[in-house]
Structure 1
Amino acid sequence: MSFNNLDTLYRQVIMDHYKNPRNKGAIESDSITVDMNNPTCGDRIHLTLQLEDGKVKDAKFDGEGCSISMASASMMTQAVKGLEVDKAVQLSQIFYDMMLGKDYDDETIDLGDIEALQGVAKFPARIKCATLAWKAMEKGVKSE
């Protein structure tokens, strides 16, 4: 697939998550709540996590912000649900590396839709938008 076609596909994936967010809302009972914002551009997220037996049982978010921020939150909640907490944190580190343009092992780790955000690395000012939800997740699981 040519670069232009791949870029178009990635944009479509990002816009799909932005317009049709997965796991939007809040977990009402037995949840960890994390509120974070990016004062640079106004993105804000309200993340709720339900942890059980060392795993992320559920993850939901609400908030407002740019398409990158909200799409990333949607993708993150999908990716971490069901993972052991340490694996969720490890995935977060892989995501940060991708945001910094570093290579990651795509043979053993399937990032799925998250891979669509790799182009953000070309725009350093937007990296904070993409990582906001991930930082909130890390803060939440570490508070437990």
Structure 2
Amino acid sequence: MLEKDIRSKVNIIDSIENWEKAIKLAAKPLLLDNSVTENYVRAMVNNVRKFGAYIVINDTIALAHSRPEDGVMRNCLSLLKINEGVVFDENLGDKVYLIFVLGAVSNRSHIDILLKLMEIIDNHDMVQRLIDATSIATLIEILQEVI
């Protein structure tokens, strides 16, 4: 599932103003290679506005996504690591440090990708290693253990 150009899909930043900008930045590599459309990014943001921080999987990870018909051109995945974290829900105050953006052309491919991501999300040691990583190369090494 990891593509040859995965380096262009994984980014690290120190901080960001808010969750909306974080989702947009996390999706930017997928926009640049035409894996998703601007409409898809808008749909992801609008879904969080409408339904709340449902994309926050645990205290530290968010899985941004929307429906295939919102603008997915091919199956894709990106990762944004935010060193200082970003708050999705002010009431909870938990910071998200890892934002995966998932795009799937069908519900079936969506399930296949989610199963791989759950191997990461369910592995607390791996999640902590991703959070602690200081380079894109290290993030990719960790991801390649599963994906």
Q: TM-score, normalised by structure 2?
A: 0.32
Higher helix share: 1
